[in-house]
Chain A
Amino acid sequence: MIDEVFNPQELVSTDGSQVAYEVFSSQEIYDLEQERIFRGPVWNFLGLEAEIPNIGDFKSTFVGDTPVVMTRTEDGGLAAWVNRCAHRGAMVCRELRGNATSHNCVYHQWSFDTKGNLLGVPFRRGQKGQAGMPPEFKPSEHNLHQLRVESFRGLVFATFSAETVPLEEYIGTTMGGYIKRVFHKPVEYLGCTRQFANSNWKLYMENVKDPYHASLLHLFHTTFNIFRVGMKAHCETDENHGLHSIIMAIKENQDAEAGADYKEQKIRSYQEGFELEDDSILALIEEFEVVATNHIQPIFPQLVVQQIHNTLVARQLLPKGPDKFELVFHFFGYADDTPELRKLRIKQANLVGAAGYISMEDTEATELVQRGTVRDGAARSYINMAKHQDGQTDTLITEKLIRSFWTGYRNLMGEVATGAGA
């Protein structure tokens, strides 16, 4: 029966170059993703340790569409639990963020500690001869659903599954190296912005693995000469399952040839003559060993690490239904930022997010796909750019990261069916 819902053979080609549009709109596939991916053998990004620095600090967030709370525990560690009372299922924590050493469900005042362990039940032993809980009631059997939690360089992740490999292994050596590039010293949380799109979460995954669109959809790049085909590029996936990836645009000397290429091809993105009156928004204070204007690194399924110029963001991708997702942009700087550098980071928030000069079109594009494909579930996309040269890593004109993503997705969605078949 499960195979009828998601048949990898029919929906995603083995090489990931063709995907039936049904995967973007089917409720059954969405439900299966919650089980096999978000509650499966993956690590889901919850937030930054810097958001909850003090004992008792907490933040409400999600794993897939399951509400969870991440906390800083009494011993200075990290915990996460499903935000559903062990008694009758009400949401226990009703705030976005705050500080508390115990969390009380308002419905019947059951209380839990920062780790989600049950602390107290009102009238447990009854009152004045009236009965309380049955004698066999054991508080330790009624804790909140606690998730495994690990952090890597200040990024907090949780998993529902006992099977998930340790976080560092899940991220892998290659991707871990790129995370360390950005998270190379203590960070400070600068707040978040939220964006909601009427499209499937995987369309955003495709988008952050798609360097081909960057200079074609986002005209700001080329209009103001920020980023061009011809810059030194780097595209790579992780070495294990191909679900994580990185796109970098590494700064080299201005390449006059690149502009010429655009003019010859009469691509609409080339416009001469526009200059920013205040180009400080495009400043690049060099602060990394490898100087890049763009570092876009999805860690499947809920995180995209981003460095664009000097603006630093951990984007959290949250599915909200087959045709809805939310992005939470967690802005951060380094604890030792100079006032000038901090000011620049905040100014460069103009480049990214829902109003970002070089990002606002992304959700426009994912919504166009959602609307374009709604009644054509069996039709397939064509993801073949540079397929005959898959080994090439120094190009932005490629769709290999997307193919790799779909292959990994296919394996993940198919795996349980195979195992459960027995």
Chain B
Amino acid sequence: MTNQNLALRAELIALQDLYISTLDSDRLEAWPDLFVDDCLYQIIPKENVDHGFPAPLILCDNKRMLRDRVISLRHANIFAPVVYRHFFSGLVFEQDGEAIRMECNYLVISTSLEGVSTVYQAGTYRDIVVRIDGELRFKEKHCVFDTSRVQTLLALPI
């Protein structure tokens, strides 16, 4: 993954920035629209990926499931109010036919109502991005996390 296409690189960074901004500014209803309809989104511990085990924390294999997740966490699930701040680094990518494979580190800092900030999750995004009507969208997004011990619960998307 050593693609040096700077224009494409700028577009991919802009996509990750938009993704993170959508989550961190609590615009969750807009989050599914960053994916194509037949997308794959999962949050899975690195230890499972390393051993070839499929058990995920969250797995959505279409955009409707992403919207269901948002409705559930808005209306059904109960969890303490929390603010996430996402950071990413080390972005690399390569062209794979029509699609682009992209990887980067991510870090999520969570801040509780009491005002304590902690590292909630560190991991890598392993993404497949495609262009739909001129816009880059996620075909696949795998959040492969190192922080295998999930603190308390995971309600909000990563």
A residues engaging B (CB < 8 A)? Answer: 96-97, 189-198, 217, 219-220, 223-224, 271, 274, 276-278, 281, 326, 329, 331, 346-347, 349-350, 353-355, 357, 360-361, 363-364, 367
Contact = CB atoms under 8 A, between A and B. Distances in A.
Contacts of B56: 193, 346, 349-350
Contacts of B80: 364
A193 B43 CA distance: 11
Nearest to B80: A364
B138 to A, nearest CB: 18
B150 A195 contact: yes
B78 A364 contact: yes
A342 to B, nearest CB: 8
Given A220-B77, A355-B43, A191 B51 contact: yes
B78 A347 contact: no
A196 B45 contact: no
Interface string B36-65: 000000010101100101111111111011
Please provide the 7 A-B residue pairs with the shortest distance between their CB atoms, ordered closest to farther: A191-B53, A191-B55, A277-B64, A191-B48, A331-B55, A355-B154, A354-B150
B150 A97 contact: no
A347 B79 contact: no
A336 B31 CA distance: 37
Contacts of A189: 53
B48 A276 contact: no
B67 A277 contact: yes
26 contacts: A190-B53, A191-B53, A191-B55, A192-B47, A193-B56, A193-B150, A196-B149, A217-B78, A219-B76, A220-B76, A220-B77, A224-B72, A274-B75, A277-B67, A278-B68, A346-B56, A346-B59, A347-B59, A349-B56, A350-B58, A350-B60, A354-B153, A357-B72, A357-B77, A363-B152, A364-B80
Contact of B54 (A281, A326, A346, A354): A346
B14 interface: no
B57 A353 contact: yes
Interface in B80-139: 80
Interface of B: 43, 45, 47-48, 51, 53-62, 64-65, 67-69, 71-72, 75-80, 148-155
Contacts of B153: 195, 354-355, 360-361, 363-364
Nearest to B52: A191
Contact of A355 (B58, B64, B65): B58
B14 to A, nearest CB: 28
Contacts of B53: 189-192, 331
Contacts of A223: 72, 75-76
Contacts of A355: 43, 57-58, 150, 153-155
Nearest to A224: B76
Contact of B148 (A194, A276, A364): A194
A329 B47 CA distance: 13
Contacts of B77: 219-220, 357, 360-361
- Which secondary structure characterizes the binding site on chain A? mixed
A317 to B, nearest CB: 14
Contacts of A361: 77-79, 153
Contacts of A192: 45, 47-48, 53, 55
Nearest to B65: A278
Query: Which of A196, A271, A346, A360 neighbours the largest number of chain B CB atoms within 10 Å of its CB?
Result: A360
B152 A364 contact: yes
Contact of B78 (A196, A219, A276, A350): A219
Contact of A326 (B55, B57, B65, B149): B149
B154 to A, nearest CB: 4
B108 to A, nearest CB: 14
Query: Which of B56, B62, B152, B153 neighbours the largest number of chain A CB atoms within 10 Å of its CB?
Result: B153
A19 B51 CA distance: 43
Contacts of B154: 354-355, 360
A96 B67 contact: no
A349 B72 contact: no
Nearest to A190: B55
A364 B81 CA distance: 11
Given A193-B57, A349-B59, A355-B153, A274 B71 contact: yes
A221 B127 CA distance: 32
Contacts of B72: 220, 223-224, 357
B92 to A, nearest CB: 26
Given A191-B53, A192-B47, 5 more contacts: A96-B47, A191-B51, A224-B72, A271-B75, A357-B77
A205 to B, nearest CB: 18
Given A346-B59, A349-B59, A194 B150 contact: yes
Nearest to A353: B57
Contacts of B71: 274
Contacts of B67: 277
Contacts of B68: 276-278, 281
Contacts of B69: 350
Nearest to A366: B152
Contacts of B59: 346-347, 349-350
Nearest to B77: A360
